Amino acid sequence: MNPETSSSTTITSSTPLHCQYRSASGRRFCRMAVSDPDSGLCSRHAALLQKDLDQADLAAVLIGDVQEFRSAADINHSLGELYKLQARNKITPRRAAVMAYTANLLLRTLPAIALETIPPSHQRRIIIDMPEPDRD
């Protein structure tokens, strides 16, 4: 083989050949070729990493600048953002359903919270058993 006509690929030591993904125990077991040189991962593990990063960013989108869900407007805003994320397939339907159920529970507790903040002197009394009037 003539050195002038042969083409060779130079692989530097900084470019890994195989996926650098490590299991929870620290072992490397993936032998697929690297598809993303920046992360050193194969296409499958790079997609998993991106999914984890996308889901980590969801909290900032869903909550925004709301500190506590003490009003229906705050909960409604969060539900609207949840709907948008689900429409864009950024969140699984199961996770969205659980979060919507949690928002429903938050909404149901708002009246009880409002009653707790009203002083007892201003609360309405509900009399269930009223005596019948005397008709004599």
pLDDT in tens, 37-79: 777 788 888 787 777 766 666 777 888 787 888 889 999 999 9
DSSP element (H, E) containing 81: helix 72-87
pLDDT beyond 90 at 105: yes
Q: Report whether pLDDT(96) > 80.
A: yes
* DSSP secondary structure code for residue 132 in this structure: P
Going by C-alpha positions, the residue among 53, 54, 46, 47 that lies closest to residue 20 is 46
Report the pLDDT value the prediction gives residue 121, as an integer from 0 to 100.
Answer: 74
- Among the listed ranges 76-80, 90-94, 120-124, 132-136, which one has the minimum average pLDDT value? 120-124
Distances (CA, A) of 14 to 3, 11, 18, 128: 25, 8, 12, 80
pLDDT at 115: 81
Name the more confident of 47 and 130.
47
Least reliable range by pLDDT among 27-31, 75-79, 92-96: 27-31
- Report how far apart, in Å, the C-alpha atoms of 53 and of each of 46, 97, 117 are: 11, 21, 40
Rounded to the nearest integer, the mean pLDDT of the chain is 78
Give the separation between CA 2 and CA 43, rounded to whole angstroms: 36
Q: What tokens appear for 57 in the block? A: 């960013």
At 7-25, the pLDDT tens digits run 444 455 566 787 877 777 7
Paired tokens of 29: 């077991």
pTM for this predicted structure: 0.50
